[in-house]
Structure 1
Amino acid sequence: MPKDLGKRVAYQRRIARMTQQELADAAGVHVGTLRKIERGARGAGDNVVESLAAALGVDPSVLLGNRDRADARVRAAMPSLSAVIAAYEEPDDGPVRQLEQLRTDADEAVSWRLAAQYVRIARQLPALVSELIRAFHLAPPEERPETVGLLVAALRAADAAAYKYGARDLSARLVDLMRWAAPYANDPLLDATVAYVRAETFFAASAHAAGLRALQAAIDKAPTGQDDAEIAARGALHMRAAVIAGRAGSVEAADYHLGQALRLADAVPEDVYSGTAYGPDSVRIHEVSVAVSLGRDHVHRALDVANEWAPPHDLPAERRSGFYIEVARAQLWSGLPRDAFESLKVARRIAPQHTRDHPWVREDAATLRRLRRADAESLSNFAEWCHAGE
C-alpha cells in the first residue's frame, strides 16, 4: 500500500466536507473498508483508489502521493490499445463472455468516459476492446447488431482517452474502426453516433470546413422519426456542427445549426442518448463553445450565458468541466483574469483529469501567471498542477 494513503484519503475527505459514510456511498465501497483504509489497517487496489479519487474530485495521484501524471499513465496504455485494434480482422484467441456481461462492462466504460475517468479507461479498455472484437467475429446473426453497438461504445471510450491526451493518429484509427463496424449493425442511430465522433478528426486537423460538410451529410442521413432517441441524434449532430462552423468562422452556419439544436432539444428531456449527452442544458453549453469558437465580437454571448446560468450537477462531468474551461477563456479574452482563474478552479473540482491535461487550461494558466506575477501562491500552484507552459 502506498505510504500514507489513508491519511491522504482522510485529508481530502475533510476538504470535501464529506463524512466517511458519504464518501463510501459516493465511491461504491463499504464504509468499514473506508475506515480501515483511512487508519492504515488495509490497502486499496487501483479500482478502489480510482473510485475514491473520483468521488473526491481529485486525480488518483493525489491519494497515491506520487507525481505520476495522468497523461503518463494513459499514454503507457496506448501501445496495448494500438496492438489490439491493429488485429481487428484476425484478433488474438481468448475468452468471450456472455453478452450480458459484455454489456455491463461496455456501459461502465461509457460512464467512465462521461465522468472523464481517462486513467480507468486506459487501464481497462485494451482488454475489453479485444474481447468485443472477438465477440463480433463469433456472434450469431441475431446478436451481431448489439455486439457491434457495444464494440462502438468501447471504442468511443478508448478514443476519448486517446484524443484528450494527444494521440491523434490512434484516435483517427479508432474512429476508422468504428466506421468499419457500424454498418454491420444496420442501425441509423449508431451511424449518427459514429458521425458525431468522427468530427474529432476534423477538429484535430483544423479541417473545419470539411468537417462541417461531413456533419451536414450525416444530418441529411440521420433518422427523421419523432421518438426521443431519433430527435436527439439529429440534435446532437446539429450541436456539433454549430461548434465546427464556429471554428470555420461561419457565423451564419453556426447560428443555423445552433438554432436547430436548440429547437430539437426543447422536444426531449436532458439525458444521455446513444452515449451522447443531449438536451437543453447540453445545447446551452455548446452555445458558449460556439461563441468562444467565433471569438472577437461574439465572446460576450459566452459571458451572458455564464452570468445567468450554470450547468446542473446531473450533467456528465466532462461536459460541465468543459463549460467552465470555455467560460474561462472568454473571461480571459474579456479582461477578467480573476474570474477566469475561478472558472478554471471550478473545472478542476468537477473533472480533474479532463482539466489538468486540457491544452486550453495549460495555455490560459500560463497566461494568467504572466499577467499576475505578483499574485499569490494559489495561481502558481494551479499552473504547476496542470504543467502550464510545458
Structure 2
Amino acid sequence: MPVLPHSGLGRRIAYYRSVVRPKMTQRQLAEAACVSIGAIRKIERGERGVTDATLAAIADALGVDPGRLRSDRGPARTAVREGLPALSDVIASYDVPDEGPVRPVRELHAATAETVRWRLAAQYTRIVRRGPDLLCELARAYHQAAPHERPRLAALLVSAYRSADAVAYKYGARDLSARLVELMRWAVAEADDQLLASSVAYVRTETFFAARAYRPGLRALELALDAAPAPGAPLQAAVRGALHMRAAVIAGRSLDAPAAWAHLADARALAAQVPEGVYYGTAFGPDSVRVHEVSLAVSLGDEHVGRALDIGRSWEPPECLPAERRSGFYIELARAQLWSGRADQAFESLKTARRIAPQHTREHPWVREDAATLRRLKRADSESLTNFAEWCAAT
C-alpha cells in the first residue's frame, strides 16, 4: 500500500486535532483511529508518513474529510468501505469456513464482546479490520464443537454478525446487511435463547426500514412481542421494552400515530423498571426512550415536530449512552430544527453529532441531505458549513 509523503501532513493533523476537536489529545486520537500513540506522535512531528487506510482512520476520528489532511488533496477511500468485501466473502462461506486455529470459548467471548463495544461506540473501522477473521474463527469453532457446546457459540455468532451488520447497514450495503440479518436468524435458532431471538427481531427491522416496508415491519415486531418472554425481571423487561421502542419508530414511519405513541408509552413504562444500560446488545432505559421519542416525533412530522424541539431545549443525552445513540439524537434533532426554520441550531446539532461519532454521522443520509439544504440556505458560517458539507459528501 502506498505511503503518503509526510511533508506538512503532521502539522495539518495537529491543527485539526486542536481546532476542530479542541479537547482531543494525541492519545484520544490514537484510540479513536486505532493507531498507536507512538505513531501519532511521529506523524505529527513529520518523522513518518501514513498509508491511505491510516489517513482515513485519522480523518474519521477528527471528523474531517481525508482530503483536507493530504498535501495532494486527492480523494481517499475510507478503510470501512475497503473492508466491506472481506465481510461479504467470509459470510459466503459461513457453513464451510477455512481451516485454521480456534481459540478457547472464553477468548472468543471476549473478542466478540469487544466488537459489540465498537458497534455501540460507532467504531466501524475497527469492526471491519477484525470482524472477518473473528467471524471465520467463530464459524470454525461452531462446526467443530460438540453438540452441547454449539448453542453458546451460536450466540456468539449472533453478536458478531450484528456488529458486522451495523457497518453494512450504516454504509449503505443493504444486500450485505440483509444477508447478515438472515445469518443472525439462522444462528439464533441454534442458540435456543428467547431473549436473544427478541434482539434479532429488533435488528431485523432494518430490512423493513431499507425497503420502506413499514407496516410489515410493524407486524413483524408485534409478532416478536407476542413471542417474547413476559417482563418478570429487569432483563426481560429491557428486551421487551426495546421491541416496543423499535415498534414506535417504525409505526411513526408508517404515519400510524396512535400505534406509535402507544408503543412508546409501553416502552417508557418498562424503562421505568430498569436502569439505563445495554441488554443483549441494545441500549435501553429511560434515556434511550427519550432519544426515540425525538425520532418518533420527527418521523410523524407536522405538529409532532414541536415535541422534538421541546426535548432538545430541555434535555441532552448523557455521556453514559452509547456514542451511536447519542449522535443519532442530534441527527434527528437537527432535522426537526431545520424543518422549523432554525438553520443555525440545526448546523450546531450536526456538528455535535460529528464530534460524538464521526463515522456514524458522516455516512448518515439525513446528514448529507440536511447539510446540502443548509448550504443552499447559507444560514451558517460559509467556510465551516462548506467544510462540513465536503466532509459528509453533501450535494
Q: Same fold (TM over 0.5)?
A: yes
Classify 1:209/1:233 alpha carbon distance in 2 versus 1 (closer, same or farther; 3 Å): same
Query: How far is 1:103 from its partner?
Result: 1.6
Q: Does 1:175 align with 2:181?
A: yes
Q: Residue 7 of structure 1 aligns to which amino acid in structure 2?
A: R
Q: Does 1:23 align with 2:40?
A: no
Q: Residue 83 of structure 1 aligns to which amino acid in structure 2?
A: D
Q: Residue 300 of structure 1 aligns to which amino acid in structure 2?
A: G
Q: Does 1:14 align with 2:23?
A: no
TM alignment of 1:321-360, pairs within 5 A = 321-360=327-366
After superposing the two structures, state which structure 1 stretch, 15-24 or 214-223, moved more: 15-24
**Any unmatched runs of 5+ in structure 2?**
none
Query: How far is 1:21 from its partner?
Result: 7.6
Query: How far is 1:78 from its partner?
Result: 2.4
Distance 2:51 2:232 in 1: 46
Q: Residue 139 of structure 1 aligns to which amino acid in structure 2?
A: A
CA RMSD of the aligned region, Å? Answer: 2.7
Q: Does 1:143 align with 2:149?
A: yes
Classify 1:118/1:261 alpha carbon distance in 2 versus 1 (closer, same or farther; 3 Å): same
Distance 2:56 2:45 in 1: 19
CA offsets 1:108-141 (integer angstroms, 9 cap, x no match): 1111111112222222212211111111111223
Distance 1:34 1:20 in 2: 10
Match of residue 363, structure 1, among 362, 365, 369:
369
Classify 1:200/1:25 alpha carbon distance in 2 versus 1 (closer, same or farther; 3 Å): closer
Classify 1:136/1:212 alpha carbon distance in 2 versus 1 (closer, same or farther; 3 Å): same
Q: Is the 8 A contact 2:29 2:62 kept in 1?
A: no
Q: Secondary structure at the match of 1:267?
A: coil
**TM-score between both structures, scaled by the size of structure 2:** 0.89
TM alignment of 1:50-199, pairs within 5 A = 57-58=62-63, 61=66, 65=70, 72-199=78-205
Distance 2:131 2:363 in 1: 20
After superposing the two structures, state which structure 1 stretch, 22-31 or 308-317, moved more: 22-31
Classify 1:147/1:59 alpha carbon distance in 2 versus 1 (closer, same or farther; 3 Å): farther
Distance 2:25 2:251 in 1: 47
Q: Is the 8 A contact 2:67 2:75 kept in 1?
A: no
Q: Does 1:200 align with 2:209?
A: no
TM alignment of 1:192-341, pairs within 5 A = 192-341=198-347
After superposing the two structures, state which structure 1 stretch, 159-168 or 78-87, moved more: 78-87
Q: Residue 125 of structure 1 aligns to which amino acid in structure 2?
A: G
Distance 2:16 2:378 in 1: 28
**Any unmatched runs of 5+ in structure 1?**
none
Q: Between Structure 1 and Structure 2, how many residues are aligned?
A: 387
Q: Is the 8 A contact 1:235 1:261 kept in 2?
A: yes
CA offsets 1:7-45 (integer angstroms, 9 cap, x no match): 344334433444858638966988667545543456789
Query: How far is 1:57 from its partner?
Result: 4.8
After superposing the two structures, state which structure 1 stretch, 139-148 or 12-21, moved more: 12-21
Q: Residue 14 of structure 2 aligns to which amino acid in structure 1?
A: A
Distance 1:18 1:333 in 2: 31
Q: Residue 137 of structure 1 aligns to which amino acid in structure 2?
A: H
Distance 2:148 2:138 in 1: 16
Query: How far is 1:88 from its partner?
Result: 1.6
Q: Is the 8 A contact 2:294 2:333 kept in 1?
A: yes
Classify 1:369/1:25 alpha carbon distance in 2 versus 1 (closer, same or farther; 3 Å): closer
Query: How far is 1:362 from its partner?
Result: 0.7
Query: How far is 1:374 from its partner?
Result: 8.7
Classify 1:63/1:96 alpha carbon distance in 2 versus 1 (closer, same or farther; 3 Å): farther
Classify 1:25/1:36 alpha carbon distance in 2 versus 1 (closer, same or farther; 3 Å): closer
CA offsets 1:88-115 (integer angstroms, 9 cap, x no match): 2222222212212212221111111111
Classify 1:374/1:121 alpha carbon distance in 2 versus 1 (closer, same or farther; 3 Å): closer
Q: Secondary structure at the match of 2:278?
A: strand
Classify 1:279/1:44 alpha carbon distance in 2 versus 1 (closer, same or farther; 3 Å): farther
Q: Is the 8 A contact 2:16 2:62 kept in 1?
A: no
Percent identical residues:
59
Q: Is the 8 A contact 2:244 2:267 kept in 1?
A: yes
Q: Secondary structure at the match of 2:147?
A: coil
After superposing the two structures, state which structure 1 stretch, 19-28 or 159-168, moved more: 19-28
